[in-house]
Amino acid sequence: MEINAQQIAQIKQLVLETGEFIRREAAGFSPEKVERKGANDLVSYVDKNAEKQLTEGCLTILPGSGFIREEGGELKGTNPFRWIIDPLDGTTNFVHGVPQYSISLALQYEEETILGIVYDVARDELFMAQKGKGAFLNGSPIHVSDCPNLGSALMATGFPYNKSDRNTVLLAVLYDILQQVQAIRRFGSAALDMAWVACGRFDGYYETTLNPWDIAAGILLVEEAGGRVTDFSGGSNTLFGRQIAACNPRMHPDLLGVIQAHFS
């Protein structure tokens, strides 16, 4: 099932307008406006209003579609379309004034992701992929890197906000990867980490404890840019499996090898 060019243009416009709202609010944002969902899990009216704007816009473009959203939860649809939305990925960065956050929006048809958009609000970079049609950054085609091995790789990762999920296994994996790669980054927006693998800025990325809204768009971006995305067993349970290893295909076996030494 495909959506038409006019609908794609409307979706892009919706994301850009929501990004404009986030950019405006970032300018005068004060940390008192933050609420806590958990000890380190932050949310603000910006996340909530952005999600409302996206939800209303998506329903105008595809009436009756369903949703999986970070803030508002699930909404059952009356047709096979479903949106998976993180209105502000990188909230901790946002509230600290660190300009590394994004909107992540994916569209599924019968549970297959057919469109993924990650919008880097501060840099005005729009990453978009359509199933079978490639991946693009501001309209230009993008591709994963061809970095041949971990030794030359710039890797990205992230750590759970929930302290009880920060276990010694994760630190052991981090240690082993750090010993092998050129360098490693933790930038704080999983959606952008994936988009940056798709365009070759990062050679690979892995993380645990993620939710579908963090990565739904990013998975399609990396795959359409020629990369491989798996769970830590090398399988395809990526969207709901809470484990992601995303990489160029040359390096993917090596990355999995290091991870699997600890996650078996």
Residue of closest CB approach to ligand IPD: 158
Binding site for Ca ion (CB under 5 A): 70, 86, 88-89, 214
251 binds, among Ca ion, ligand IPD, none (CB under 5 to 8 A by kind): none
> Does the protein bind ligand IPD through residue 254 (CB under 6 A)?
no
- Measured from the CB atom, the residue of 18 and 91 that comes closer to ligand IPD is 91
Q: Which of 66, 116, 158, 204 touches ligand IPD (CB under 6 A)?
A: 158
Nearest CA among 155, 161, 156, 39 for reference residue 93:
161
State the Cα–Cα distance between residues 256 and 238, nearest whole angstrom. 14
189 binds, among Ca ion, ligand IPD, none (CB under 5 to 8 A by kind): ligand IPD
In this chain, which stretch among 16-24, 177-185, 206-214, 233-241 interacts with ligand IPD, using CB under 6 A? 206-214
Determine the 3-state secondary structure of 118 from DSSP: strand
DSSP class of residue 62 equals S
How big, in percent rounded to 5, are the helix, strand and coil portions of the chain? Answer: 40, 30, 35
> Does the protein bind ligand IPD through residue 173 (CB under 6 A)?
no
Q: Which of 18, 55, 91, 230 touches ligand IPD (CB under 6 A)?
A: 91
H helical segments located in the chain: 5-27, 45-61, 91-96, 168-180, 190-198, 212-224, 252-260
**What is the distance in angstroms between the CA of the first residue and the CA of the last residue of the chain?**
37
- Measured from the CB atom, the residue of 66 and 188 that comes closer to ligand IPD is 188
For residue 28, the surrounding DSSP H or E stretch is: none
In this chain, which stretch among 74-82, 113-121, 166-174, 209-217 interacts with ligand IPD, using CB under 6 A? 209-217
> Does the protein bind ligand IPD through residue 218 (CB under 6 A)?
no
Nearest CA among 193, 251, 195 for reference residue 223:
195
In this chain, which stretch among 55-63, 133-141, 155-163, 177-185 interacts with ligand IPD, using CB under 6 A? 155-163
> Does the protein bind ligand IPD through residue 190 (CB under 6 A)?
yes
- Least Å distance, CB 95 to ligand IPD, is 10
Nearest CA among 248, 244, 257, 250 for reference residue 226:
248
Contact of 79 with 102, CB cutoff 8 Å? no
> Does the protein bind ligand IPD through residue 214 (CB under 6 A)?
yes
Single-letter amino acid, residue 224: E
Residue of closest CB approach to Ca ion: 89
- Site residues, ligand IPD (CB under 6 A): 86, 89-92, 158, 160-161, 188-190, 207, 209-210, 214
